[in-house]
């Protein structure tokens, strides 16, 4: 699993905003904001900047149980999430999400080498029932400037997460992650796109 999965989830789910906003070519003017409620909005990714596996709006245990199913229906998100979409009048829909959501951070197993998936990376802890390293509430904001995939503009996307956490020993932490990308940036063969911003911090309060 890589960081791109996080944004793929965000944009794919938020694309449902198009159905409540406008279809390409349906209007020459921008549309007013429209809301859609998603019962299956989750975000999960390995944050190698702070060596933690991140699960937002879902527990690792419930996600991995769902994944091992085989899955029936959408993943079991904890809370419904409201997304807002605005049609540009040129065929694109700008969508964003701003919500306070449950978050878990897990330490990677001692030697995941290499990171292979959200469940595999913490499987020893799941099997032992030790629980997450820390839990809390995250302010999660995500945005895409063409969630419908109209092709009328260069797609840019990103999200920002700020969380207050408590670890298993009762210590309090602040976690921050910012991730932004643009599909039009240079993509070298031997590395990530040149314009990717991926910054995290984890500090004790």
pLDDT of amino acid 158:
86
Enter the DSSP assignment of 187.
-
- 5 pLDDT above the threshold of 80: no
Q: What distance in Å separates the CA atoms of residue 40 and residue 81, rounded to the nearest whole number?
A: 8
CA–CA separation, 48 vs 21, rounded Å? 37
Q: Contact, 168 vs 133, CB < 8 A? A: yes
Q: How high is the pLDDT of residue 88?
A: 79
Confidence class for position 104, pLDDT limits 50, 70, 90: very high
Greater pLDDT, 187 or 20: 187
pLDDT digits (tens, 9 = 90+) for 145-172: 877 777 777 777 889 999 999 999 999 9
pLDDT of 28 > 80? The answer is no
> pTM for this structure?
0.80
| 17 or 184, greater pLDDT | 184
Residues 6+ apart with CB under 8 A from 137: 100, 101, 102, 103, 163, 164
pLDDT (0 to 100) of residue 1: 40
Strand blocks (E) in 92-196 = 93-107, 134-144, 156-167, 172-182
End-to-end CA distance of the chain: 30
- Contact in structure between 51 and 116 (CB atoms under 8 Å): no
What pLDDT does residue 192 have? 58
The CA–CA distances, whole Å, from 24 to 27, 157, 182, 193 equal 8, 19, 21, 28
At residue 120, the pLDDT reads 93
pLDDT of residue 125: 95
- pLDDT of 80 > 80? The answer is yes
Q: Give percent of the chain with pLDDT exceeding 90.
A: 48
pLDDT of the residue at 20:
37
Q: DSSP per residue over 41-110, as a string?
A: --EEEEETTTTEEEEESS-HHHHHHHHHS---SS---SS-EEEEEEE-SSS-EEEEEEEEEEEEEEEPPS
Q: Tell me the per-residue pLDDT of 57-75, one tens digit each, with 9 for 90 and over.
A: 999 999 999 999 887 888 9
Q: Quick check: 27 pLDDT over 70?
A: no
Q: What is the pLDDT of residue 111?
A: 73
pLDDT of 23 > 60? The answer is no
């Amino acid at each position: 699993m890589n960081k791109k999965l996080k944004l793929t989830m965000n944009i794919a789910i938020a694309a449902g905003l198009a159905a409540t906003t406008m279809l390409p070519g349906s209007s020459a003017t921008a549309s007013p904001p429209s809301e859609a409620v998603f019962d299956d909005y989750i975000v999960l990714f390995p944050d190698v900047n702070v060596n933690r596996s991140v699960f937002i709006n879902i527990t690792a245990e419930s996600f991995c149980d769902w994944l091992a199913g085989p899955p029936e229906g959408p993943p079991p998100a904890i809370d419904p999430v409201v997304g807002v979409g605005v049609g540009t009048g040129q065929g694109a829909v700008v969508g964003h999400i701003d919500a306070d959501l449950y978050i878990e951070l897990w330490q990677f197993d001692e030697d995941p080498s290499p990171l292979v998936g959200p469940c595999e990376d913490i499987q020893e802890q799941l099997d032992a029932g030790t629980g997450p390293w820390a839990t809390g509430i995250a302010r999660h904001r995500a945005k895409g400037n063409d969630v419908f995939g109209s092709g009328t503009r260069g797609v840019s996307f990103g999200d920002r997460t700020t969380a207050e956490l408590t670890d298993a020993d009762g210590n309090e932490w602040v976690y921050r992650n910012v991730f932004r990308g643009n599909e039009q940036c240079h993509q070298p063969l031997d590395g990530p796109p040149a314009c990717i911003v991926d910054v995290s911090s984890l500090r004790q309060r």
